[in-house]
Structure 1
């Protein structure tokens, strides 16, 4: 019995010691990525310390005559960073996936032992465990692409003079490897006036369904597109500015958003934290904010509601409802000219090569507030939008002043503890529907757009660079391919 008690407390002590010494989420993700590069199998690159990650590190250290002492250390990370690429990693990087020929076949002809794993909810769970196989990813890719037929749209047509894009592309083995075994469909790195890295998923994975012309879903990247529409509406004189109050829209009278400043709604500090939740929708009813009109909510769940807390000091409450309020307010102000306005923004100002669109719910009058922020654009048109934003900033035009204003007054997110979205967790503030003030780049003018499933645009205004990622699932190495690539100006 004494031996059992002693062993029990040794185990508890070891557990507590490991927990106390655990590295940050980003350092664990880096270790997982570097272990893959060294031909170990740490499991998903998810920032979670588990048995597979520990076993991979133990094996890596044992090969070097070292012992694992219960926690990932900075010395381990330095060893991993200096370790050469393993032959299997190199083989993957040049696209020779001959050990997995069957998985790379079209999902119509998959073997029985590769089933489609459908997760609960509308979309593929972002932290699915085990990681989704190719068949599952292709299933969700088709679902997302076909979702466009379930809604009506506000459309901006292709520009007669699309913005030109210069290319000075150099290959990168790590990026190619990631593109060959993750759910990324597209990756673009723009720097010094040209695209320096350009990868699209190979035909054997998703390239047969995703071309350079395919309209790719935005998820919450669309929130930032709504902000860009708002900037243009201000610059055209339809809206006074970000400090304008919503006091001229009868649809939202006697609701929490009535008479609120646009800035507070855009920063998601509208005092609606007791009314709407990013995951649950409208708290009192559970209805989802993207599939119901603003008017319906105003007459029901939001009727008679007031903001919680003092203006200017309310906590950040991230959800899609404030974005839809802003989008439909712009639609309200533009009236029948809204699609012409979209053409001025995306056709004339940006110069898109393919049509872009926002979703609108079917069977609802425009006056009811039917628009929502889901956006579609081709991979290069997402880049064109980012390039235009960089040019706005540099030129100091009205839209550029809008960016400078929202970034200068970015509001704290008030996050505590670890959150599920790694990329969102890397930004400390929120600026008018953009993520801002990124860890390690706190003194740089960087704005980010982030959407469920790994949709990302990160822009560094100081260095005129941008990275655009489209993906089916967040299983790629965000830190190396996006965060540190922007931070260092290069890929690993």
Structure 2
């Protein structure tokens, strides 16, 4: 049997300065509506086998979490969990063990996009984004999907870590976080309108990912929830519910339809491992 080895970090979460950056209202789980995928219930989730060992170095790092930031560690090898250590913050326990992941959320948007292609909603990664009016007049109009997936859309003069201190604020403007506004509002802003793409260099940023996610929502239409269920419930066989945030604050009415996606993702630590296993199974098959 082929040996599978991966750390779920996926379950490496920072609670020090880096982690604290995402604890204000813009990233609070309860501040925004969400796309929810319900857990698989009592029988249908993937059930792990364990052959646990203790790793003194891992235990030491978790005990020193204020310095290391490590609060959860899972090692899955030869189809069994070999190391399972955690010391989660109280606010994680109080919220059903849901761990937030923003960078991993970006990767999962790409994963969902792959499913959208395989299910026939999007032709391929080289499609031109010229069929979605939301992008009209912006540097993203007419670009290939692969450019955004690779974060080489030429948007570095507008947003991103290439030239700015944040991956989510338009030109570092304090009140223009692209994660808290619907994608249509972001694209219609004066800063985005009449823009042209710059050179195709790697530029890690939130807007490219949110654009991809909302393009998938646009292309799947009423089937977006069905697609999420396929990815996480049917194939990854999650046990607990998982969530993608929307860009709609809970003080406003939720919207069932429309392009309100953002990449911020929440799942139980074991469900991150279930998702990771599904990704690796796809890779190996």
TM range (shorter): 0.7 to 0.9
With normalisation by structure 1, the TM-score equals: 0.48
Higher RCO (CA-CA < 8 Å; seq separation 6+): 2
Q: Give distance in 1, aligned partners of 2:276 and 2:259.
A: 27
Choose 1 or 2 for highest CA Rg.
1
- Deviation string, structure 1 residues 80-120 (Cα, Å, up to 9, x no partner): xxxxxxxxxxxxxxxxxxxxxxxxxxxxxxxxxxxxxxxxx
Q: 1:188 to 1:330 in 2, by over 3 A?
A: same
Aligned residues: 254
Q: 1:333 to 1:386 in 2, by over 3 A?
A: same
Q: Give distance in 1, aligned partners of 2:23 and 2:147.
A: 37
Q: Could you tell me which residue of structure 1 aligns to residue 149 of structure 2?
A: 266
- Deviation string, structure 1 residues 377-404 (Cα, Å, up to 9, x no partner): 0000000000011111111xxxxxxxxx
Matched, 1:247 2:247: no
Match 1:147 to one of 15, 22, 28: 28
Alignment of 1:333-412 (within 5 A): 333-362=219-248, 363=252, 369-395=259-285
Q: Give distance in 1, aligned partners of 2:98 and 2:91.
A: 14
Matched, 1:165 2:51: no
Matched, 1:296 2:182: no
Q: 1:187 to 1:389 in 2, by over 3 A?
A: same
Q: 1:169 to 1:212 in 2, by over 3 A?
A: farther
For the residue of structure 2 that corresponds to 1:290, the secondary structure is: helix
- Deviation string, structure 1 residues 104-151 (Cα, Å, up to 9, x no partner): xxxxxxxxxxxxxxxxxxx96339xxxxxxxxx8xx99879x921100
Gaps of 5+ in 2: 1-14
Q: Give distance in 1, aligned partners of 2:220 and 2:283.
A: 25
- Calculate the aligned-residue CA RMSD, in Å: 2.6
With normalisation by structure 2, the TM-score equals: 0.81
Q: Give distance in 2, aligned partners of 1:272 and 1:141.
A: 23
Alignment of 1:20-169 (within 5 A): 125-126=17-18, 147-160=28-41, 161-169=44-52
Q: Could you tell me which residue of structure 2 aligns to residue 32 of structure 1?
A: none
In terms of mean alpha carbon deviation, does 261-270 or 213-222 score higher?
Answer: 213-222
Alignment of 1:173-322 (within 5 A): 173-182=56-65, 183-201=69-87, 206=89, 209-210=92-93, 213-278=96-161, 279-280=165-166, 281-283=169-171, 285-286=173-174, 287-300=176-189, 301-309=191-199, 314-322=200-208
> Contact 1:346/1:352 (CA < 8 Å) preserved in 2?
yes
